[in-house]
Amino acid sequence: MKAENYISLEFPSKSANEAFARGAVACFAAQLDPTLEELGDIKTAVSEAVTNCIVHAYPKEIGKIWLKAFILNGNKLKITVKDKGVGISDIEQAKTPMFTTGGQERSGMGFTIMESFMDGLKIKSVPGGGTVVHMTKTISIRAAKGRK
């Protein structure tokens, strides 16, 4: 599916950049005229994906995070968050609610939240080679705006 528009960002895995990533994707997604609820869902999912990179992919160093967002036909938003960190050895286990490798202060709900707030979630990972998270969300077309 060909993108109608896209953004591509690269930034270090510093906690301050989580808010930047969330805000950048929210501003980009605004052109689809999402509801406040849809926008909140997108921001929360991006926050979780980027936080996973910061906390889990690069636990002992600052690495790079790549974020891309695409607007596709049918009012669909696709977001990809990628790292070259430690990777995930068992994706199904990592998706289990309450499972975490980040210590007791982590909730272990990141993938569960992403899956709940987005329409689609795909995770690819190679231990020692990084992780790529693909998320999609179809934005409702609001009749009041007369959009097609």
What are the tens digits of pLDDT across the range 118-132?
A: 999 999 999 999 999
| Banded model confidence at residue 147, pLDDT cuts 50, 70, 90 | very low
pLDDT digits (tens, 9 = 90+) for 57-109: 998 999 999 999 999 999 999 999 999 999 987 777 666 655 565 555 555 56
Token output for 57: 């992919």
Phi/psi of residue 14, nearest 5 degrees: -95, 140
- Catalytic choice (17, 18, 22, 52): 52
Please say if 75 is a catalytic residue: no
Place of tokens 């109608």: 4
pLDDT digits (tens, 9 = 90+) for 25-39: 999 999 999 999 999
- Catalytic choice (4, 48, 75, 115): 48
Quote the pTM value: 0.86
- Catalytic choice (17, 106, 115, 142): 106
Please say if 147 is a catalytic residue: no
What is the spatial distance between Cα 80 and Cα 67, in angstroms, rounded to a whole number?
A: 6
Please say if 61 is a catalytic residue: no
What domains, with CATH codes, occur in the chain?
A: 3-145 (3.30.565.10)
Beta bridge mates, 131: 83, 125
Using the predicted structure, report yes or no on whether residue 142 has a pLDDT greater than 80: no
